[in-house]
Amino acid sequence: MSEEAVLEEGSAVLEHPFLKQMIVQLRAVDSYGTYDTWSDAKVLDPMILTKARRREIPVVGDPDETTISRVKAFYNGLAQMIEKETGIMAVPVINLTHEGFGRAMIVVGKLVALDKTLRDVHRFGFETPEKLIEDAEKLISKAVELVTQFKEVAKL
């Protein structure tokens, strides 16, 4: 990945609630304390895969532990937001083969509120921070809608 940062320090977009949540989640899965001395912008930066950055990643490859932890952080963040909006516990479940294929689900009670096939996880990322927010908000609102529609199952 290119060494140049995409996200600027103190950039206004970092104040968006979902990006703030993402930063919390990324720090939460950082078991070795690598991010302890990093700024929020630096922690979030690898989630942004601009076209130039994407070109530098081979099409076929196995995801490393750090990339997988970012996928987990993303779904943990979604689960947190869904929980906040619905008031019911939301649990992320991620199943990945070592080749980076699999499935991500967010389970609320007995309801699968979100279900996504994961592919090419070694290239996980979003073109811009705005795209990350947009994708997350779409997923959250769809999940919340489902929970509202099938509240009885979500409360089981």
Q: Where on the chain is the footprint of a copy of itself (CB under 8 A)?
A: 93-95, 103, 105, 107, 109-113, 115, 146, 150, 152-153
Minimum distance, C-beta of residue 123 to a copy of itself, in the bound complex (Å):
23
Contact 45, 6 (CB under 8 A): yes
Q: CB-wise, 79 or 113, nearer to a copy of itself?
A: 113
Q: How far is the CB of 27 from a copy of itself (least distance, A)?
A: 21
Give the burial class of 39: count Cβ atoms within 10 A of its Cβ; 0-12 exposed, 13-18 middle, 19 or more buried. middle
d(CA 42, CA 33): 14
CB 57 → a copy of itself: shortest distance, Å?
Answer: 27
Structure-block tokens of residue 117: 């096939």
Taking alpha carbons only, the member of 73, 150, 66 closest to residue 107 is 150
State the nearest-atom distance from the C-beta of 130 to a copy of itself, in Å. Answer: 29
Chain centroid to CA 80: how far? 11
Calpha distance 139→149 (Å, rounded): 15
Closest to a copy of itself by CB, 103 vs 131, is 103
Q: Which is nearer to a copy of itself, 61 or 102 (CB)?
A: 102
Toward a copy of itself, which CB reaches closer, 35 or 150?
Answer: 150
H helix or E strand, kind and range, residue 115: strand 111-118
